[in-house]
Every structure is written in C-alpha cells, then in structure tokens.
C-alpha cells in the first residue's frame, strides 16, 4: 500500500462526508430509523457511508472493505482491509451534541496502522501521516490541500492525578467501579471516537470501555492513538486489541497513554 496516497484519499473522503453530514445536521428535520440491533441510523449515516464506500472502492479496488451500515466485507475475508464508521456517535448527532465523528481506518494483520477521525461539528481533524505518526490539522480544511499540522503525543501521565474520559451515552456502574481503582484528578465526558483522540493529544489519560462496540467504532481512533504513543488493550487480559475478529465485535477494552499504570480488572 502507498500510505501517502492512502491518507490523501482518506482525508478527502472524510472531509466530503463531514460536509454532507453537517448539511443534514443543520436542517430542522431528519428521520431516525432503528436497525436490527436497536441502534439508531439516520440519512446522514447512510449518505456518508455511500460516499466513503464509493470513494474507497474506486481508489483501492483490490482492498477488502467493511463498513458499519453495510456490515459486511466486500470481497473475501482478508488480513488487510479498510474499515469505516461513516458517523460514529449517531445519538450525539440526533441530540445535536456535536460529539460525532467520521472514521476511516486501514487494518494490517489485526492492527489498525493508519486512520483518520474527523469531528465536523467540533472543527477537529486527527489522522496518521504516511509514516504512522499522528497529527492534528489546524486551520481551514481544504479537501485537496492539507493545512498545517501539529504532531500529537500522549500525556506524561501523573498516576496520582489522572484525567479520565468516558462515554456520554454508554456509562454504567461497572465502568465507574473500574475507574474508582485509579487516583482520578478529573473526568471528561465525550462521545464517539473523540475519546481516543483526547488521549492522543494529552487532554486525557485513560478511557475504559466496558460495553459493546464494533471494530468500525474503534479502529480509526485506535490508529490515531497508537500513532501518538498510546495503547488499546482488552479489558479481560490486557493484551492488545486486535481486528478482523469474527462478526467484527470488540471485547471490553481500555485505551490509555503509555505512562498510565493499568489496574487489573
């Protein structure tokens, strides 16, 4: 794979999808349907999925593709594939909270090696460069020419005063009980894959997720966090979270900056 070309295409498609999503977001009315797993889906999810899928297939016809809204791999199950969540944080979108993202990632042998997370309502754009280092782009987001970027890096965590980030829409007693194992300075609430990016930029240190997620929910944020020096591990055995699993469903996991002293479940 030509990583330089991959990131150019992924960036352009994420920005184009973000524009489409914001056009729908800013209307006074949009329909909300319920999928077979009881999760919500909107016209924005479906339109962004179609746009990104068509663009990736045109640019990389020989690479398998998995998307949330299609839930299937187009092509034989592969060790190398692209994975897309066209609108992560649909509940935040519906309730107009702004914490939703466009996510595209490239998986190689179980590892998300490149990815992009775009939060159009927040005006924040995070991605890996061709060399795998993660950056945040600053300024106007021209689809054909990247603005200046700044490298991002996880915080040098103070384990006596950690900043924890947790989900706005998925929070329970089990999660709180695990967080209580740490010395927490403060907590942030965020939706979608932005939680990975907040750790990647050093704005938070720890994100435990003790709830159901799918690989498309996490892959792009995982890639950005890895490129900033962070890690994502399974909750049960603290081994690295892998991709390409049957059904594309994740176990519980913990995302964190490299200096955080993890507690056993």
Model-level pTM?
0.93
Q: Is the pLDDT of residue 77 over 80?
A: no
Instruction: List, for residues 86-95, the tens digit of each pLDDT value.
Output: 999 878 887 7
Q: Is the pLDDT of residue 38 over 70?
A: no
Mean pLDDT to the nearest integer, 124-147: 96
**What does the pLDDT read at residue 66?**
94
Instruction: List, for residues 203-241, the tens digit of each pLDDT value.
Output: 999 999 999 999 999 999 999 999 999 999 999 999 999
Q: What angle do CA 77, 60, 88 make, to 5 degrees?
A: 70
**What does the pLDDT read at residue 52?**
97
The token pair at 151 is 């490298």
What share of the chain in percent tops pLDDT 70? 90
| pLDDT band of 31, cuts 50, 70, 90 | low
Distance, in Å, from the CA atom of 6 to the CA atom of 81, rounded to the nearest integer, reads: 12
Instruction: List, for residues 161-206, the tens digit of each pLDDT value.
Output: 999 998 766 668 899 999 999 999 999 988 889 999 999 999 999 9
Q: For the chain, list the domains and their CATH numbers.
A: 3-151 (3.30.540.10), 162-256 (3.40.190.80)
Least-confidence region, from 30-34, 155-159, 174-178, 234-238:
30-34
What share of the chain in percent tops pLDDT 90? 75
């Amino acid at each position: 794979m030509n990583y330089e070309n991959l990131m150019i295409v992924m960036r352009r498609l994420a920005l184009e999808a973000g524009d489409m999503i914001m056009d729908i977001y800013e209307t006074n009315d949009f329909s909300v349907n319920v999928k077979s797993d009881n999760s919500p889906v909107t016209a924005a999810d479906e339109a962004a999925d179609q746009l990104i899928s068509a663009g990736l297939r045109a640019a990389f016809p020989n690479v398998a593709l998995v998307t949330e809204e299609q839930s299937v791999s187009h092509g034989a199950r592969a060790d190398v594939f692209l994975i897309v969540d066209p609108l992560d944080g649909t509940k935040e979108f519906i309730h107009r909270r702004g914490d939703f993202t466009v996510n595209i990632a490239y998986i190689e042998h179980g590892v998300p090696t490149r990815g992009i997370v775009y939060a159009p309502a927040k005006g924040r754009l995070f991605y890996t460069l061709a060399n795998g280092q993660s950056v945040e782009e600053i300024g106007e987001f021209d689809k054909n020419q990247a603005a200046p970027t700044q490298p991002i890096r996880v915080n040098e965590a103070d384990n006596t005063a950690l900043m924890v980030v947790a989900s706005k829409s998925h929070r329970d007693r089990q999660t709180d009980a695990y967080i209580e194992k740490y010395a927490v300075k403060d907590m942030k609430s965020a939706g979608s894959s932005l939680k990975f990016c907040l750790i990647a930029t050093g704005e938070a240190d720890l994100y435990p997720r003790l709830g159901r997620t799918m690989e498309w929910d996490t892959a792009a944020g995982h890639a950005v966090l890895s490129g900033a020096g962070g890690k994502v591990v399974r909750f049960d055995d603290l081994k690295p979270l892998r991709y390409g699993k049957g059904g594309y469903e994740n176990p519980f996991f913990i995302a964190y900056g490299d200096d955080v002293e993890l507690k056993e479940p």
